[in-house]
Structure 1
Amino acid sequence: MAAPHASAQPENGGDDVVTYVLVDGENIDATLGTSILGRRPQPDERPRWDRLLSFARETWGQDVRGLFFLNATTSMPMPFIQALNALGFTPVPLSGAADVKVVDVAIQKTLRAIRDRDADVMLVSHDGDFLEELEGLLDDDRRVGVMAFREFRNSGFTALEADGLESFDLEYDVKAFTSRLPRVRVIPIDEFDPSQFL
């Protein structure tokens, strides 16, 4: 899987810092379907993936490289891959044995590889399998963020915020959805708007 990294190198010799946006699409889809909607999401209920790249670019003010990890063990979803390419993502289709979480393994390897680059990273996942790699990145002088539904993130992400992990909600911060999701969330009192309940 070295090819996406090689193609993602800045063309100016590496002077500019880039933000890698690593998307665990299966995790986001499963959380959306199981925990929020209670059913398989319809196409118009899924995130607008291009908004993740725009958000990362605008929030940290630097170039972004989006890597979208897919389990293609049983089939290659060509229409979706073509759509990802059109949105500016580099699809990373993976295969492996049934007992191997190929997407998680690939993201873990990618997070470890980023330690050797002058780069920041935003991970799009709720999965605690990445905590060790994220913690290792926070040891360095770089920005590290997670985009997810806050209430469904692994609790380990909250602990890493004290070390500098930045947290972004996919719906409220990133605005990745075109319609409001049926979520119940804890509302910071400064954000409470009674008109939403009246």
Structure 2
Amino acid sequence: MTIPGVDVNVAQSVTAAVGDFARFRSADKLVAYFGLNPRVRQSGGLPAATGRITKTGRSQVRGMLVEAAWVAPRSPGPLRAFYQRVKARRGIQVAIVATGHKMTTLCWHLVTKGQDYAFARPRLVAFKRPKLQLQAGAERRVARRGLGYEYNDKTLRRHEREIAEQQERAYAVMTAHRQPCGPATAQKNTT
């Protein structure tokens, strides 16, 4: 739930569909399980061509992750920078599915390593936790200011947003200076 766009319902759906995250050797295996991986067509020595997502596997969770991907770019951070970069090249629909793919990869890494999302906004996460507790069966408390109440303080929320915007700019700069590597570079050098 520390990932932007992921709320209680999405987190529970992913956890219920996966069960034990350790049964997937890599994040790519989990992405394929949800059907968010692009279809690859290759014949002979020709270069591989990627197409639409495979849509195999858990359609309900895939739908929830894509819906969460619509929400994630609304808040500042590296996920929004990723979304904007893909949207500029490939369009909105591809960018949303790619963001859902990235969120699935993040889920696998965070759960298997037992970590929280590094770019999480602490007060927003604290705001989400009472919803989780209520759905888990906790009694509703009246007129108590808990950890999530600080989310109502506009100055604290603005400060968190400024930090997230700095992280977004840093991610955009890092990806702008990234050089392509792998098979695509090798093909350019041979021709």
Q: TM-score, normalised by structure 1?
A: 0.27
Normalized per residue, which structure has more helix? 2
TM-score, normalised relative to structure 2 = 0.28
More strand by share: 1
